[in-house]
Structure 1
């Protein structure tokens, strides 16, 4: 199978959801009285998940969907439900129909909104077609106007096969960080990856093929790592950089924006080492799309033990610990340094 139709669906669904998240940011986050108010990201999570699931269900009604949210809280909170529904309705009206020949689905009322969100309760697994979605990956980045991502990946028999990432705040030109922002990346396994600028509507802008990232000297590379120390051990990661002779300052982003950054060569290594004592288990929706896109431009993506990510275990990567992604030519050096730092060698 070529999976071109699945890729097109993923790109359009993610782009439409990015239209909504941008609307939420400008209507709710920017006007929020309290910087501690997390309700705008709650609204955006529910609304974006509903839009994406409506798209998947319209185009591929037999596929399973693993989403991050369920509607239990919305069903109890009429006010919040009304806010979410109004934003979904506004986005649907603004977006209109895609010019490409693929249905993106509609939502007619609040009841269908909640029912649509709950179609993301699939348990995943090792057989069949299952979509993994994260409507807003990087909630703190979203609230601060920093990096976040809208993520959708198709797993076929437990293997990441199609992926799309919308990263609304990532500079389109990494050499011009204050310039236009917003990129959309996508990939099909075995067919490479592409990047394009995010469009403000449902017209996909021209794409360009991402070239394989092929560094020859690990000391000339840079790390990309998370902003939050609770999710990633910055101290150990700094030790690994030092052991590899890396002196460049790390790029710190929230979300799968890190995968987008290394896929286009802004950095060449992504580490997510669990903090000491952490029992955190990675979720499949946090890595399905991004890891595939990076693999398609020559990265090796594994856990800290060098084991490939196993997306067939259900809703989590419970058989894996941490994340290591490095461009192919330097992966062996990086994983050796990781194992040495963690004492597993």
Structure 2
């Protein structure tokens, strides 16, 4: 495997610690599940992972900020570690193996390191600025070369979120323009864009910890990542990953 920076190496060690916790709790008969104020679920594994990662960061980088799904925090100037302890909690609690821990180091609101670790899929994706994106078997990632929406493979999350947060009609226009569509959802669809096996991943509603890590992975694989308005940010409340060639055409379908 290629040489990694100290920050990426540390992020990978954070992912190792997270995997140990999540793998032990996945499909556990005594898994504890609660409902947050926004009615999304949280398990004892979510909180255990975030607390463990926070403790490791505080010990190693006491001056760094931390923002996570379960314990909060702000993303401002300087260094901030952005954590989603389990992206795909609904999958996790139902026993579906498509879930992951997402870890990103953000400097001045720009992701510079990203790690997505999905132990139940036996997959890990990671990237750092200017150094490319890779899987944990050392394979360098590269987006697809598909040039037309007619040939594009599209993925999204729950269709109902488009009704509530964007436009169901706009999404259906995009679906109709594409060759194929599925709902792989969450982190996985963006990582599949980075791998070049699908071409477009679109989400009508996201939080920063949902996409900080995948943004840099997609970009370092040669793709493009914006919000649904086309703004180059993971802080826009929505997410669009593409192979780059298709990005403007997707934005036109979603805005027309």
Normalised-by-shorter TM-score class: 0.7 to 0.9
Which of 216, 232, 235 is residue 308 of structure 1 equivalent to? 232
Distance (Å, rounded) in 2 between the aligned partners of 1:207 and 1:41: 33
Which structure has greater strand proportion? Answer: 2
Q: Secondary structure at the match of 2:179?
A: coil
What is the match of residue 84 of structure 2?
134
Instruction: Say if 2:170 and 2:253, in contact at 8 Å, map to a contact too.
Output: no
Question: Deviation at 1:161?
Answer: 0.8
Which residue of structure 2 aligns with residue 299 of structure 1?
A: 223
1:240 paired to 2:156:
no
Partner of 2:199: 268
Contact 2:27/2:93 (CA < 8 Å) preserved in 1?
Answer: no
Instruction: State the Cα RMSD in Å.
Output: 2.3
Aligned pair partner of 1:143 in 90, 93, 116: 93
The 1-side partners of 2:243 and 2:138 are apart by 22
Contact 1:299 1:327 in 2 (8 A): yes
Partner of 1:333: 249
Deviation at 1:236, TM superposition (A): 3.7
Alignment map for 1:5-16 (pairs within 5 Å): 5-16=6-17
The answer to whether residue 182 in structure 2 is matched with residue 231 in structure 1 is: no
Change (3 A) 1:189 1:136: same
Task: Answer with 1 or 2: which has the greater Rg.
Answer: 1
For the Cα contact (< 8 Å) 1:137–1:149, is it kept in 2?
yes
Matched, 1:219 2:150: yes
Q: TM-score, normalised by structure 1?
A: 0.65
1:267-324, CA deviations, whole angstroms, 9 ceiling, x for partnerless residues? 11011135xxxxxxx32111100111001112211122211115xxxxxx3xx25222
What is the aligned length? Answer: 243
Q: Summarize the Cα distance change of 1:305–1:259 in structure 2 as closer, same or farther, 3 Å threshold.
A: same
Partner of 2:57: 56
CA distance in 1, matches of 2:16, 2:188: 15
Distance apart, 1:232 and its partner CA: 3.7
1:127-183 residue CA offsets vs partner (Å, 9 max, x unmatched) = 1100000101121111122221200101101111111001234xxxxxxxxxxx321
Consecutive unaligned residues of structure 2, counting only runs of 5 or more, are 35-40
